Amino acid sequence: MLKSMTGFGRGEYIDSTHRIIVEIKAVNHRYNEIVIRMPKALGSLEDKVRRGIANTILRGRVDTFITVDEYGQKKRTVRVDKDLAMAYHNAMGELAGLLGVPASDNVYHLSKYPDVLKVEEISEDVEKLWPKLATAIESAVLNLMKMREAEGANIENDLLARVEKLYTYIATVEERAPQILVEYREKLLGRMRELLAAVGAEPDETRLLQETAIFADRTNVTEEIVRLKSHLSQFKAAVKEREAVGRKLDFIVQEINRETNTIASKANDSTIANVVVEIKSEIEKVREQIQNIE
């Protein structure tokens, strides 16, 4: 079953304390590139997130967006910068002495000075958040794969239809190939008779057979047709495989194109040349489609 490389999936986990949303957008890419954007506080979980995605998505550029909302009372603490408080206190004493007035700072006023007191949130253990995040990732990946498989099914139908069309073109080449030899022999015989008529001689049958045999050997495309059919069979079989086959199909298409070019160069026939143009047009359409396959 083919899978497209493009798609979108969204997963969500929600309970009394957290709401986690994971959105995954995948597009075509030669390799497997996973880009993750998530809160800085979850940085220690990035490797787990990446593995959770890479275990299922094998190819393509995958942009992952993670947002986390916390509910309920947040745990906070107040931190006292003791060194800064003492520095303020000493500075106020020094200033009072300079002005000749009694120092009047107290704890309440001192606490209002910048950065003496700082309110900090107590970070929760992110490892405890992982099971919740993993659930959201699993849901997002599942939804993404559903979209990829649906699009992959459409691509598979299109590719198989084009393969059948290629079989039709190959059948035309097979049917035409023997006629090329017959027509060549007739043209050669006619030319020989025309040239020998002036001296009243008849064409040398042995010479005619030799020239025809040489032409037949030079223009024989039987081997190329056999290999071309074999490649098409391999292509059809690969399309039905369950693992990622995008690169494999791309290689097979290269081989199909190579055999087609050889047929075009050997056939020496306008009819087959026209058929080859149609074959190459279909091959290019197939090549474009498989660029979307995982």
Together in a domain, 284 and 253: yes
| Same domain (yes/no): 64, 172 | no
* pLDDT tens track for 67-81: 998 876 666 677 787
In a shared domain, residues 140 and 155: no
Could you give the 3-state DSSP secondary structure of residue 28? Answer: coil
Average pLDDT over residues 128-132: 91
> Does some domain include residue 253?
yes
Residue 287 and residue 283: Cα distance in Å, rounded?
Answer: 6
Distance CA 175, CA 172 (A): 5
Q: Could you tell me if 190 and 256 lie in one domain?
A: yes
Domain enclosing residue 34, as ranges: 7-72+125-148
Position 97 pLDDT exceeds 70: yes
Assess whether 132 and 111 both reside in one domain. Answer: no
Residue 1 within any structural domain of the chain: no
Q: What DSSP character marks residue 76?
A: E
139 plus 166 within the same structural domain = no
What total of structural domains would you count in the chain? 3
The answer on pLDDT for 249 being more than 60 is: yes
Give per-residue burial for 266-284: e unless 16+ CB within 10 Å, then b.
bbebeebeebbeebbebbe
The model's pTM: 0.69
Same domain, 114 and 140: no
Q: What is the pLDDT of residues 213-236, one digit of tens each?
A: 566 556 677 788 899 999 999 999
Continuous H helices in 81-221: 82-99, 107-111, 126-196, 205-219
Residue 111, in any domain of the structure: yes
| Residues 230, 269 within the same domain | yes
Residue 58 maps to a domain: yes
Q: Are residues 63 and 115 in the same domain?
A: no
> What is the reported pLDDT for 161?
95
**Same domain flag for 275 and 218:** yes
- Whether 280 is in a domain gets the answer yes
Residue 2 within a domain: no
In-domain check, residue 254: yes
Q: Which of 239, 221, 281 is nearest to 257 (CA)?
A: 281
Most confident of 79-83, 112-116, 133-137, 189-193: 133-137
Spatial neighbors of 86 by CB under 8 A, at least 6 apart, are none
Indicate whether 182 and 201 sit together in one domain. Answer: yes
pLDDT, mean over the chain:
84
